[in-house]
Chain A
Amino acid sequence: MTNTRNSKRRSGMSRREILAAGAGGVALAGFTPSLFSIARAQAGTIKIGFPVPLTGPFGAEAQDQVRAAEIAIKEFNDAGGFQGRLAELLVRDDKLNPGEAATRTLELIEKDKVNYVVGSLSAAVQLSINNVTKERGVIFNSISQSDAINEVKDWSKFTFHEALNPHMTAGAVGRYAFSKFGKKVVYLTADYAYGHEMVRGFESAGKPLGVQTLADIRHPIGANDYSAFLPRIQSLRPDVLCICNFGRDQVNAVKQATEFGLKEKIKIVAPVLLYTARVAGGPEIFEGVVGGTSYYWRLEDTIPTAKAFNDKFRAANGGAVPSDYGALGYAGVRTVLTAAKAAGSTDTDKVVEAMRNLKYDFYKGPQYYRGCDHQSVQSVLVIESKSKDMKDKNDVFNIVGVETPDEKNLRSCADLGHKA
């Protein structure tokens, strides 16, 4: 646009010059799309859109998801791809904002013409991505927790859920903790969908065991100060305190409960005990806290596929081990690529069919997608945080229980509104 500026300085601006400038602008615009798509690979690659919250409170987890997903891509490409077609990961930052995620998913589908979408790290974000993909008939494999995505209202045949859901995680932890530590329970819950779903999961697991809920104390999401709740919890004298929140909230709540001395008489339990949160919080704070997870790297002691995955991850990332949510990025991408290979086609309907038939063991033992809601049926680990006998700095948990894959631990298809 320097032309216009110079001409303007010389004299006024004639209509002709404006037209010329306008034409220049249009010409420039013609080039713009190519300017923005330099990173686009040549036609024929299998493209997987990967929207995750690189900026925001879960940035660390999201980056780990990307690192793990890249391993699945590399593995696929090193094995020669599919009929000579290589896979490519298109990472987008959804900023943990459902609106941004919807926009980015539209970009991935409409401009980048991705074959499949894998990703997300929030219940609301995955539901928004899912709404965009299902409308356009694009496969979406979600790698973050939500109960709603399995329900008939949000679900479509293009929707897959590789991650655990709150019902499965809370259920496994509840069945372990209530039978071991006692039947009187207090919940400290972040007041939003995820927190409520966790409590519902605990309660349905506790019902057959005769568990008694003393109180369900709600705190606003993102709270820093939990000291007001702690005396009340202590005076209720529960056997178990379930802390149903996530990320920083979990670190803060556990830290303050530990400092308050709640742990002396009460067992603290968290439905999802994050590897990254534990590393950030430190061993003393989390000492003895029991929780659930989809994956912990020490599975490699017993499961060969976990060992293989960890080794690849270590080699690519300077010896670091994959986190729980990171590993889901690997599994989410690998299932889709494996299904495409098995189907002998990248055609959506055929890949959906292949994914439904998939029986896989990629990193944590056997898994498969349930027919009615495409929820990945898989093992749930119950882990306990430790401060002693650590093999190295990454060895922060003991696996104290493994709930084997079983559909009876999921909400039934009828409960979710699916026929048959």
Chain B
Amino acid sequence: MTATASASLIAFGKRHRAALAIAVLLIFPWLMPYEALAVNILVLGLYAVGFNLLFGYTGLLSFGHAAFLGSGAYGCGIALVHFGVPWFGAILIGVLVSVFFAAIMGFLAIRTRGIYFAMVTLALSQCVYYLFYQAVSLTGGENGLRGINLSEIGILGFSVNFLNPTTKYYVILAFVAFALWLFSRLLASPFGAVLEAIRENESRARACGYDVARVKFIAFVISGAFCGLAGALKALHLSIVPIETLHYLTSGQVVMMALLGGMNTFFGPFVGAAAFLLLEDVLTTMTSHWQLVLGAVFVIFVLFFPKGIWGSVLAWVVRK
């Protein structure tokens, strides 16, 4: 096989990254120990991909993305439970709620950089946490929001059994696939190029005439919207919204997933989420010291594979 053939293959892969990712996800439930875990990976994978728009592509490390996952989940859940909104509308409301919070947090946070940006996002996400924690009549507070019970959902006039785990997977996959496609389009657009320009050299991007603050703000809000969609889907999947969704540990978890999978790649965060959840799931059934093993794996990756799992695989394929 010639070098050109493999080069064209790589180019093919790059061009159709979203389609390839979706193709893998189509057979994904059969690769996993059980469907509920597959759906978790799907949802948290989207969460990590959305987070990576800021982290990997714009170079902004946010420690407050749980606020968007959580507000999306609560927005969707509250719309369904308290206002009887149909499921599709509830997902939309979830996304809008997280966009709302992302706009406020983004407006305040993009004025800072580096560690200050991380701290401001962390502090603001804690505000969101307490807001939802205190609104007990709507959110259930400490006990969490329960009763997001969808046994049947209507899709284009058909009634679908949402309790069937395989059906649920593919319904949620439809949303995730659309989001991944949109995300890929976004990165391939001139806007995506500006994001990377800001990451590489902010002053230079500014000198080229780009409104850096505005681009950062838009990226922040879009990232929030993707995470909000992930949250809304998570609420439908688990039929509950625990207050832990908004906890800062959830913000930390997504940083870990993105790093583990590879922050400079399109699909890396998704791979990171899958690796993280799968490892956690398998390890907990074997030992109660699973956190120790998971921590060691993480340290090894940060030290020896700074490009992450997917980043290393891609680099290896290209180099070969």
Q: Which residues of A contact B (CB under 8 A)?
A: 8, 11-15, 25-26, 29-30, 32-33, 36-37, 54-55, 59, 92-93, 95, 97-99, 102-103, 106-107, 110-111, 123-124, 127-128, 130-132, 135-136, 146, 148, 153-154, 192-194
Q: Which residues of A contact B143 (CB under 8 A)?
A: 123-124, 127, 146, 148, 193
**Residues from 267 to 304 in B contacting A, C-beta threshold 8 Å:** 282, 284-285, 288, 290-291
* B159 at interface, CB cutoff 8 A: no
A223 to B285, CA, bound (A): 31
Q: Is B146 touching A13 in the complex (CB atoms < 8 A)?
A: no
A136 to B244, CA, bound (A): 24
* B151 at interface, CB cutoff 8 A: yes
Q: A98-B244, A135-B239 are in contact. Are A12 and B3 (CB under 8 A)?
A: yes
* B163 at interface, CB cutoff 8 A: yes
Instruction: Select B1's contact among A11, A36, A59, A154, beta carbons within 8 Å.
Output: A11
Instruction: Select A124's contact among B35, B144, B148, B282, beta carbons within 8 Å.
Output: B144
Instruction: Select A93's contact among B6, B147, B284, beta carbons within 8 Å.
Output: B284
Q: Which of A12, A25, A111, A123 has the most CB of B within 10 A?
A: A12
26 cross-chain CB contacts under 8 A? A11-B1, A12-B320, A13-B9, A13-B317, A32-B32, A92-B285, A93-B284, A98-B244, A99-B234, A106-B35, A106-B36, A106-B165, A107-B37, A110-B36, A110-B165, A111-B33, A123-B142, A123-B143, A124-B142, A124-B143, A124-B144, A124-B242, A131-B147, A136-B163, A193-B143, A194-B142
Q: Which residues of A contact B151 (CB under 8 A)?
A: 135
Q: Which residues of A contact B32 (CB under 8 A)?
A: 32
Q: A12-B2, A98-B144 are in contact. Are A29 and B31 (CB under 8 A)?
A: yes
**Residues from 1 to 24 in B contacting A, C-beta threshold 8 Å:** 1-3, 5-6, 9
Q: Which residues of B contact A132 (CB under 8 A)?
A: 238-240
Instruction: Select A98's contact among B1, B240, B290, beta carbons within 8 Å.
Output: B240
Q: Is B141 touching A193 in the complex (CB atoms < 8 A)?
A: yes
Q: In the complex, what's the smallest C-beta–C-beta distance from A157 to chain B, in angstroms?
A: 15
A95 to B288, CA, bound (A): 10
* B58 at interface, CB cutoff 8 A: no
Q: Is B142 touching A103 in the complex (CB atoms < 8 A)?
A: no
Q: Which residues of B contact A93 (CB under 8 A)?
A: 284-285, 288
Q: Which residues of B contact A (CB under 8 A)?
A: 1-3, 5-6, 9, 27, 30-37, 40, 141-144, 146-149, 151, 163, 165, 234, 238-240, 242-245, 282, 284-285, 288, 290-291, 317, 320
Instruction: Select B35's contact among A29, A111, A123, beta carbons within 8 Å.
Output: A111
Instruction: Select A127's contact among B31, B146, B148, B238, beta carbons within 8 Å.
Output: B146
A36 to B141, CA, bound (A): 36
Q: Which residues of B contact A95 (CB under 8 A)?
A: 284
Q: Which residues of A contact B239 (CB under 8 A)?
A: 102, 131-132, 135
Q: Is B33 touching A102 in the complex (CB atoms < 8 A)?
A: no
Q: Is A128 touching B288 in the complex (CB atoms < 8 A)?
A: no
Q: In the complex, what's the smallest C-beta–C-beta distance from B268 to chain A, in angstroms?
A: 19
Q: In the complex, what's the smallest C-beta–C-beta distance from B247 to chain A, in angstroms?
A: 10
A146 to B238, CA, bound (A): 21
A110 to B32, CA, bound (A): 13
Q: A12-B3, A99-B238, A127-B144 are in contact. Are A111 and B34 (CB under 8 A)?
A: yes
A124 to B40, CA, bound (A): 20
Q: In the complex, what's the smallest C-beta–C-beta distance from B169 to chain A, in angstroms?
A: 11
Instruction: Select B31's contact among A32, A99, A136, A192, beta carbons within 8 Å.
Output: A32
Residue in B closest to A14 when the chains form the complex, CB atoms? B1
A2 to B9, CA, bound (A): 21
Q: A15-B9, A55-B291, A110-B165 are in contact. Are A33 and B147 (CB under 8 A)?
A: no
Q: Which residues of B contact A148 (CB under 8 A)?
A: 143
A26 to B30, CA, bound (A): 8
A12 to B317, CA, bound (A): 9
Residue in A closest to B245 when the chains form the complex, CB atoms? A99
Q: Is B9 touching A128 in the complex (CB atoms < 8 A)?
A: no
